[in-house]
Amino acid sequence: RDELMFSYKGILYPITICSAEAFKALESFEARSDDVILAAYPKSGTNWLRRILIDLIAISQKKTPGEEGSGNAEKPEEIPYLEVGDPEKYERMTKLPSPRFMATHLYPENLPTSIFRNKVKILLLIRNPKDVATSFFHFSNGVAIFPSYETWDDFFTDFMSKKVAWGCYFEYLSEWNKHIDKENIMTITYEELKENRALGVKNIAAFFGIPLTEEELQLVVERSSFRSMKKKSEKTHGTIGSILFRKGGVRDWKNLFSEDQNEKMDKVFEEQVAGTKLGKMLKYDVYCK
């Protein structure tokens, strides 16, 4: 773990894609009021929402999502991670036309203050902590940027003690909870999107002011199905595609958590998150019991 991660302001990050220099440069990043930000803790379904956003952007630009030669790429790099890259990246971003799209796994307090000052629209995606931990464990063992774990128990211990990349999910939730009443922030859960993708896509489009015909809506819904994304994963994500699109469901945690681990997480959730608005949105009793 020590070789693959570094600590910045008390949070671990993967050293192969992040750096303290870039984080320092990010502090003075000047957000534009028409920037668009997708915020999600790792393994919450970030790439799913990136797909939906990329297609909605294409529609708002009068292009057909995924159509050859329409100029809209299939790749998630269209929505790059704000905190991933070299320190000069922010200078380069000043030259990009509006609107700029970016994703982030950062706690809100580690985002550049201009994002909040300029009331940038933020789509916050959250997922139930037991499935997040499960997904994170499998992903850590599948990709080189994260440490791999011999046992699930080892990963669980790290997940519960802020020793995984991008910090502690419970802290993440309680920090973001302080912001979610702002009009420029929309929150969506992985589980509600899983239950009703069409409604989720409609709500997201409405939040960004993108009008959708029924046909366009159906296209975005179809292209964001797990099956369809998994099928194209090599084209869109390269070799990590097959690892990233793993199961795409809810309650897979039941295959990993011991009774003791269940109790531990339930207790922490109860103490730190359950009473908050975000905590209630997660419907913990439905998805984590």
Q: Are 41 and 83 in contact (CB under 8 A)?
A: no
Binding segment for ligand A3P among 8-16, 37-45, 146-154, 207-215 (CB under 6 A)? 37-45
72 lines the binding site for ligand A3P (CB under 6 A): no
Q: Residues 83, 87, 92, CA angle at the centre, nearest 5°?
A: 90
Rounded to the nearest whole angstrom, what is the least distance from the CB of residue 28 to ligand A3P in the complex? 27
**Candidate list 140, 187, 224, 236; residue touching ligand A3P; CB under 6 A:** 224
CA distance 93 to 231: 32
Query: Which tokens is 217 given?
Result: 């809506």
* Least distance between ligand A3P and beta carbon 23 (Å): 20
Q: Which residues contact 55 (CB under 8 A, 6 or more apart)?
A: 65, 66, 72, 219, 220, 223, 224
Which residue is catalytic, options 105, 138, 179, 237? 105
Residues 131-150 binding ligand A3P (CB under 6 A) are 131, 135, 138
Q: Cα(256)–Cα(232) distance, rounded to whole angstroms?
A: 28
Q: Which stretch binds ligand A3P (CB under 6 A): 80-88, 106-114, 218-226, 279-287?
A: 218-226
Among 47, 72, 104, 110, binds ligand A3P (CB under 6 A): 47
- Closer by beta carbon to ligand A3P, 46 or else 187: 46
Amino acid at the residue 104: T
Q: Given candidates 8, 101, 208, 226, which one binds ligand A3P under the rule CB under 6 A?
A: 226
Q: Which helix (H) or strand (E) holds 136?
A: helix 129-142
- Measured between alpha carbons, how far is residue 100 from residues 22, 57, 132, 152, 153 in Å? 19, 11, 28, 38, 40
Of the pair 43, 121, the CB lying nearest ligand A3P is at 43
Binds ligand A3P by CB under 6 A, chosen from 247, 254, 277, 289: 247
Q: How many residues bind ligand A3P (CB under 6 A)?
A: 22
> Of 47 and 261, which has the nearer Cβ to ligand A3P?
47
* DSSP state letters, 97-122: PSSPEEEE-S-GGGS-HHHHHTT-EE
Annotated catalytic, 179?
A: no
Catalytic site residues? 105
* Sites of contact with ligand A3P (CB under 6 A): 40, 42-48, 131, 135, 138, 194, 224-226, 229, 244-248, 252
